[in-house]
Amino acid sequence: MKKNDKDNDTTVIAGRKPVQELLLDSPERIDLLYLQKGRQDKNFERTIQRCKKHGIKYKIADKTELGRIFPGNHQGIIARVAALSFADYDEILENLSESPLPLLIVLDQVQDPGNVGVLSRSLYALGGAGIVTAKHGGAFLGPAAVKASAGALNKLAVARVNNISQALDKAIDMGINIYGAGLDVDSTSAYTAEINLPAILVLGNEEKGIRFNVEKRCQKLIHIPFRREFDSLNVAQAGAMLISEFSRRVS
């Protein structure tokens, strides 16, 4: 059983059989699993184990809460599901050089699905390789993100990883250049910085920026220089401008 919730802009799948099939066939699509409080059967325990195996976040909720999420016969189990299929991160890294613009965007706790969608439009149009986000802590890539992307998210390679820092370490080991968007004292103007491709560009949270442990993996910080006093640009705006500069450097 499937439902699109326009108020929350999410997609949910409910019922034992549909959710179990999803767990077996496409566990990477599950953003959050709700299980009804009080269930203590073999299927319940098996589902918990599968969640732990695949790193899926789950919540034990009472029947009333489940009813608000899905008013039909949910049979005590509901999955909140992303609207896309996800690619393998290792494969994206291996094929990075083959993209018209060999640039991969890594999102560190970017929360707004609309920002991800708008950013995807720019990245896809300019030939970028794809987007990487964390399984937990980032924006839910449901209908809102897909709609804001004008369909670009369905064409781009999108991967979800358990740990952003470890994912960047893997890229560094492969000789891929890592750039971070930030305004620290050692940050360089994107228009004058030496930029080498293939590369990864890390964009941080809308308010807090890139986390310290993630920033440590960035070999260079770059920023958009302002000509007027202004607080900051929206992450989608700043990201699009930086992607454009990377595109300009393609030889």
Q: Output phi, psi for 39, to 5 deg.
A: -80, 130
- Topology, domain 2-81: 60s Ribosomal Protein L30; Chain: A; (3.30.1330)
Contact 61, 37 (CB under 8 A): yes
- At residue 106, the pLDDT reads 98
User: Residue 3 — pLDDT band, cuts 50, 70, 90?
Assistant: low
**pLDDT, mean of residues 162-172:** 96
Q: Which of 87, 97, 139, 136 is nearest to 118 (CA)?
A: 139
Q: Which amino acid is at 95?
A: N
Q: What homologous superfamily does CATH list for 89-248? A: SPOUT methyltransferase, trefoil knot domain (3.40.1280.10)
Give me the helices (H) in the chain, please.
16-25, 42-54, 63-69, 89-94, 113-125, 143-148, 164-173, 212-215, 235-248
Which tens digit of pLDDT belongs to each residue from 83-131?
777 899 999 999 999 999 999 999 999 989 899 999 999 999 999 999 9
Annotated domain spans of the chain: 2-81, 89-248
Residue pLDDT, tens place only, 10-67:
578 888 888 888 888 878 778 889 999 887 677 888 888 888 888 888 999 998 999 8
The DSSP letter of residue 154 is: G
pTM exceeding the 0.85 threshold for the entire prediction:
no
Cα Rg for the chain, rounded, in angstroms?
Answer: 20
CB neighbour class for 84 (10 Å; exposed up to 12, middle 13-18, buried from 19): middle
Q: Which of 132, 130, 126 is nearest to 162 (CA)?
A: 132
Confidence of residue 9 (pLDDT cuts 50, 70, 90): very low
Q: How confident is the prediction for the chain on average, in pLDDT?
A: 88
Contacts of 118 (CB under 8 A, 6+ apart): 148, 149, 236, 240
